[in-house]
Amino acid sequence: MSSIKVCILFTILMMTSPSYSAEKSPLPEEAILNKHLQLVRKLNATELRNARYAIQRKQLAEKLIGEAERTEDSASRYALLLTAQKLYLTGDDFIGAFQIVDLLQNDFQIDSLKTKTEILETAASQRLLNRQFKQVYFLIPPLIEEAIQNNNFETATALANLAKKIATKTRVHRYETAAHETRLELNDLQKQYSEFIQNQKSLQQAPQDQKLNLEIGRYLCFVKNEWPQGLQRLAQGGDEPLANLARSESEKGTDPLELGAAWWKTAEMLQGLSAKHVRQHAAVWYRKALPQLEGNQKTEVEQKLNELAPTESIKATLVAPRKYSRMIAQDQHRGNAGDRPEATTYYLNFPHPVSVNDLRLRIQGHAAQINDTCNGAIFISIDGGEWLGVSGWTTESSRQALKFQGWVELEFTSPDDLLVRQLRVLFQYQSGKSAYVINQVMSVE
């Protein structure tokens, strides 16, 4: 990112100070802030000068974040976090920059939604790699939903237009389609909001009106995700199945499995944000029912819950080795591929978030002391999540075992195109003798 644009964002964040409660600190006065910024630059001059690459900027930013968490001086904390954010922005790490905005919002009177939108607008104008535009694209939907919850449709619309612009730069057709559908959905949601405001006024004159209660309840539950208030309205609404379902939530002896299934079926008749919110509500009841379920019922519920947990959809397959044009991370370890509780786990931390669908893992294993065949399995964990069995490694004879000195590559796919910051790899010994594997080298393009 150009230094001019980074400075513009830096200045905007220094000036962002809408009205907030007194619980949060006001922004430091400009003169005081500049004094602390100069001190931060002076104390970290050598590291700032040597931070030429993204990984170095990230490490220095994390150091400054740690110092900000330890200091009790608000102006010093603000200056440290601003400097850390500038490091992230110059390294085109927009997720890191967002992290700083969240930290600032915890303590200071800033408009985080506005600041993040301005960061994204600047990112959209940059010459980034395709995978970086993907990272930026996936930052937008949560902000659109936040804007909708705040009834800020002007910002939501601006973000939707931004999503469409960035989706085009990813060259992924389904992103462009999704961005277009989001824009259309926003038009409908804005209309629903206007009707909601009018319905609330009308309800004051006719509190028992079933149609008004139904429309208000649907909006509160399905769009705003405010279920306690919304269910009260739905229970008084004119849609009898929905009214019965809403009343069942507060009745003793209600079967959580039946409630979950009923709400899930309701979600299937909805689209977009409404479908998402209703599925999430159905999942609340499914999770309550799960401990008592067995057999096919348990399997079916788990499958539905997995639909809301995209990490479960990650797959990894062995692929033919090829030359790497750009390696972004590498690690080396020595360890025994023993039983899972005892096996060595290999960590690979990326200097910036990587799209799962752009991930290729190269493993170089040198087998030693193998006097017989040995077999095992490879497990991966994305960002500290559950272990997923993805592949196996095998040697058919002691001579062939030595061929394991070559490269083994895994290619990852996910329909959700998740972003990854850390990959853990575990080799589990399963059968054979002397399965001692050393010097795994993992790299990602």
CATH number at residue 401: 2.60.120
Q: Are residues 295 and 255 in the same domain?
A: yes
The answer to whether residue 199 sits within a structural domain is no
Q: Are residues 160 and 224 in the same domain?
A: no
Contact 405, 332 (CB under 8 A): no
The answer to whether residue 320 sits within a structural domain is yes
Say how far apart CA 216 and CA 201 lie, in whole Å. Answer: 11
What per-residue confidence (pLDDT) applies to 413?
Answer: 64
Element (H, E) at 305: helix 295-307
Instruction: Give the pLDDT of the chain (445 residues) as one tens digit per residue.
Output: 555 455 545 554 555 544 444 478 888 899 999 999 999 999 999 999 998 887 788 889 989 999 999 999 999 999 999 999 999 888 888 888 888 999 999 889 889 999 999 999 988 888 887 777 887 888 898 899 999 999 999 999 999 999 999 999 988 888 899 899 999 999 999 999 999 999 999 999 999 999 999 999 999 999 999 999 999 999 999 999 999 999 998 888 789 999 999 999 999 999 888 999 999 999 999 999 988 888 888 888 888 887 775 433 444 444 444 444 444 444 444 444 444 444 556 666 665 667 766 666 665 544 444 444 445 566 777 776 667 766 554 444 333 333 333 445 566 666 556 677 777 776 665 554 444 443 344 455 4
Rounded (10°) angle between helices 74-90 and 94-107: 170
What per-residue confidence (pLDDT) applies to 192?
Answer: 93
What per-residue confidence (pLDDT) applies to 204?
Answer: 92
Q: Whose CA is closest to 20, among 102, 112, 133, 108?
A: 108
What per-residue confidence (pLDDT) applies to 163?
Answer: 93
Cβ-proximal residues to 54 (8 Å cutoff; 6+ apart), any chain: 91, 92, 93, 351, 352
Spatial strand order of the sheet with 388-395 comes to 345-355, 419-432, 374-382, 388-395
Q: Are residues 178 and 257 in the same domain?
A: no
Q: Are residues 141 and 44 in the same domain?
A: yes
Q: What angle do CA 170, 88, 113 make, to 5 degrees?
A: 70
- Domain of 107: which CATH number? 1.25.40
Q: Which two tokens stand for residue 206?
A: 């006719």
3-class secondary-structure state, position 415: coil
User: What residues form DSSP beta bridges with 382?
Assistant: 423
What per-residue confidence (pLDDT) applies to 411?
Answer: 65
Q: Are residues 299 and 345 in the same domain?
A: no
Residue type, 288: K
At which of 282, 310, 338 does a domain end? 310
Tell me the residue range of the domain where 162 lies: 3-189
Say how far apart CA 220 and CA 151 lie, in whole Å. Answer: 12
Say how far apart CA 45 and CA 47 lie, in whole Å. Answer: 6
What per-residue confidence (pLDDT) applies to 16?
Answer: 52
Residue with tokens 């591929």: 337
Other Cβ atoms closer than 10 A to 64: 24
Q: Whose CA is closest to 120, among 155, 74, 79?
A: 155
Q: Which two tokens stand for residue 310?
A: 């995209």
The answer to whether residue 424 sits within a structural domain is yes
Say how far apart CA 257 and CA 250 lie, in whole Å. Answer: 15
Contact 337, 409 (CB under 8 A): no
Q: Are residues 24 and 132 in the same domain?
A: yes
Contact 324, 376 (CB under 8 A): no
Other Cβ atoms closer than 10 A to 58: 21
Contact 266, 245 (CB under 8 A): yes
Residue with tokens 């200071």: 108
Say how far apart CA 383 and CA 158 lie, in whole Å. Answer: 31
At which of 135, 155, 189 does a domain end? 189
User: What residues form DSSP beta bridges with 354?
Assistant: 420
Contact 163, 137 (CB under 8 A): yes
Residue type, 153: F
Q: Are residues 332 and 229 in the same domain?
A: no
What per-residue confidence (pLDDT) applies to 344?
Answer: 56
Query: How long a stretch of residues is the chain?
Result: 445
Say how far apart CA 279 and CA 260 lie, in whole Å. Answer: 9
Backbone angles phi, psi at 436, to 5 degrees: -100, 115
Say how far apart CA 358 and CA 326 lie, in whole Å. Answer: 12
**Total domains, the chain:** 3
Q: Are residues 343 and 228 in the same domain?
A: no
Q: Which two tokens stand for residue 333?
A: 């370890």
Say how far apart CA 210 and CA 124 lie, in whole Å. Answer: 46
Q: Are residues 157 and 216 in the same domain?
A: no
Q: Are residues 210 and 280 in the same domain?
A: yes
Contact 186, 153 (CB under 8 A): yes
Say how far apart CA 257 and CA 292 lie, in whole Å. Answer: 10
Q: Are residues 251 and 329 in the same domain?
A: no
Q: Outline where 321-384 has alpha helix (H).
A: none
Predicted TM-score (pTM) of the model is 0.66
At which of 310, 337, 354 does a domain end? 310
What per-residue confidence (pLDDT) applies to 221?
Answer: 95
